Structure 1
């Protein structure tokens, strides 16, 4: 186990924020990427981004870069963006369409499925079949593309099977990405993720959000409003069930999954400034039920599904204290901008909310950087952070023990 990590873990007190080094240590950051991110499933995009043979996009996090491409057999593949010759990045464009991937350093040439096609001036017995780009595990769930670079990834399939009937009415596979925005924040990725995992801060920090959204916490929700919404949810074609799978409590699932539909305040059909609809209804929904769904597929992959659009949230580590908050807006693939939705109206709420988050998370990091920072107690509304800490520490302990 990495030197000093056992001692650092021993400093952690349950139901408190993490010790300072978890947010300030370069050694811990490297462990995060190696043992947590590299062994987690990560949502990288939507199938609608690569509809044609030769279409590709690249997803980067930490030290890693992954190419997702549609090959000549119309299959979607993922592989590390690392040349098998001397390690150069192969694909330097973020997205596009190509016949082949050619390394810009020495021109090793790869097929769309990652296999090596040609390498100049090699020995006669050189076998190209031994030098394909390293394949990355890939799952497509209702059009959402997930990857994991680990040789033995956690079991995602059992959780997806349980989530299936809850998301099926939205028909995520028939969505398209209409906008994405990046909000760089000067903070460790865990502080950015923890901020999303609780709504204790929502009322004081998010004025626009608080106009339409409840506090997303069972103990503070208006039970009468929720019961009314759930009845309408079932009337419009949505399930009233909830899903909460915690990897610490289940023997069959190696990831956290969460699904809960909660009511917006009265007068709001969706997450809009006016309360009125923003885009055509998703999937097979018959009407607006006045709610939105929190969906989590593993701690790192968060979605908010209104009746007419879906928000995807990612918190991508770039360095020890630089994180990209990436927000992705999706609507029905047949919706037309200017006719069926207005992009400024569609993005208003979560643009405002993410700008707030940039500010408060950066302030959080500045305080944690102080030598006088001491972990404080978490509130009952910060139960999501407690669940994240438990799974995160468990995974790091297991992986560092294996590699010690």
Structure 2
């Protein structure tokens, strides 16, 4: 049994070798998992959903992170609020369903009743001196970034969210996510530590041999390659792709779509990355035929050929914004060796199923890709359990963003574990 004291964790963090994967306990040790829940998921901004999840007043959604359950709800005046899913009477869970619509939040144990501002409205048999104002729901910090919802469980959340939001808002705004709707959602329990799920997402080194659907709309040179390994034809194709990116960025930005890369994956507490990239084939969407999956485009967009904007946030999300639809992904740790991946597909709120879009066509590429990635994560988790496992080197050409994720994680754990 490993020594799982803070001293052991600090030693593992100190000896982390740059450019290499993490040591096995980071993927397998329940004590380090507990530290991850506390220091990473308990003290950073965590992506949990979209405003269309709670589209109307009275809509509520429950998000569970470790032992913490959070209610996200829309108030009568249209604001989105978040509270701990714990009745202030004797602690019963208030909302049991993942999503619901109600007039007020009523605890079914003793009928204590709260409004969507968290105020206690009704508590029978508590005596004339009982002060309801002292027993409202405990709030949770929540922010919306152009319709993407982030919560922070800490008393004092990281204060750089505004800096990230200021950079990202112009990129996301044209897609008008607040006026979209969720038309499909999937949940996968991935057989691996949450960090393996994120590391897998942060590279496409594995894509060519494992993602036949995803590599139809994606260019081969979009996520890194080794220039010295290319022959003359390969170098020419890589140059053509680089020229296409530059030309596309200039064209899209002239139309009001910020496109050039912005990267702060390991030099900010609220780390993020974004860039709008061209798509192959018809160049319209992440679909099997590379054409738009929804006839009604998002926001005021009038041309489906505006590429795909990717947006990543540390520690747990990635997103693809296209002209016709948006796909968002959130990773929530379940235990040291299992993670929940929730994927949402959104289209314009006025789009009509069977007329403007077909759900299977909309979701097929990422449904297949998620299943393939889950299997790969499981292989890595099995390997991390082996006594033969030791940290392996990242490719400097195709896994540089995995390195940035690991740098961010180790840096945040060092900073917070030392306090």
TM-score (structure 1 length as normaliser): 0.92
Cα offset for 1:18?
0.6
Once the two structures are superposed, what CA deviation does each residue of 1:352-402 show, in whole Å capped at 9, x if it has no partner? 101101111111101111122111011121112211111212222222222
2:330 to 296, 314, 319: 314
The alignment status of 1:117 with 2:121, answered yes or no, reads: yes
User: In structure 2, what is the Cα distance between the partners aligned to 1:392 and 1:11?
Assistant: 14
The alignment status of 1:169 with 2:174, answered yes or no, reads: yes
Q: How many residue pairs were aligned?
A: 398
Say which is worse superposed, 341-350 or 228-237, in terms of deviation.
228-237
Once the two structures are superposed, what CA deviation does each residue of 1:124-148 show, in whole Å capped at 9, x if it has no partner? 5443222222101111222222211
Task: Provide the residue aligned with 1:355 in structure 2.
Answer: 371
Task: Provide the residue aligned with 2:284 in structure 1.
Answer: 269
Contact map agreement 1:232 1:289 (CA 8 A) in 2 = no
Show the 5 A alignment for 1:250-399. Answer: 254-279=269-294, 280-289=296-305, 291-380=307-396, 381-399=398-416
User: In structure 2, what is the Cα distance between the partners aligned to 1:258 and 1:308?
Assistant: 22
User: In structure 1, what is the Cα distance between the partners aligned to 2:128 and 2:193?
Assistant: 49
SS of residue in 2 equivalent to 1:365: helix
User: In structure 1, what is the Cα distance between the partners aligned to 2:361 and 2:265?
Assistant: 36
Say which is worse superposed, 47-56 or 269-278, in terms of deviation.
47-56
Task: Provide the residue aligned with 1:100 in structure 2.
Answer: 104
Question: Unpaired segments of 5 or more residues in structure 2?
Answer: 227-237
Contact map agreement 2:280 2:290 (CA 8 A) in 1 = no
User: In structure 2, what is the Cα distance between the partners aligned to 1:359 and 1:309?
Assistant: 26
The alignment status of 1:39 with 2:54, answered yes or no, reads: no
Q: 1:120 to 1:25 in 2, by over 3 A?
A: farther
Contact map agreement 1:33 1:62 (CA 8 A) in 2 = yes
Contact map agreement 2:61 2:98 (CA 8 A) in 1 = yes
User: In structure 1, what is the Cα distance between the partners aligned to 2:304 and 2:103?
Assistant: 44
Question: Unpaired segments of 5 or more residues in structure 1?
Answer: none
Cα offset for 1:37?
0.7
Q: 1:173 to 1:160 in 2, by over 3 A?
A: same
Cα offset for 1:120?
4.2
1:70 to 70, 74, 77: 74
Task: Provide the residue aligned with 2:248 in structure 1.
Answer: 229
Q: 1:228 to 1:66 in 2, by over 3 A?
A: same
CA RMSD of aligned residues (A): 2.0
User: In structure 1, what is the Cα distance between the partners aligned to 2:84 and 2:367?
Assistant: 32
Once the two structures are superposed, what CA deviation does each residue of 1:9-60 show, in whole Å capped at 9, x if it has no partner? 1332111111100111111111111110111212222222323322211112
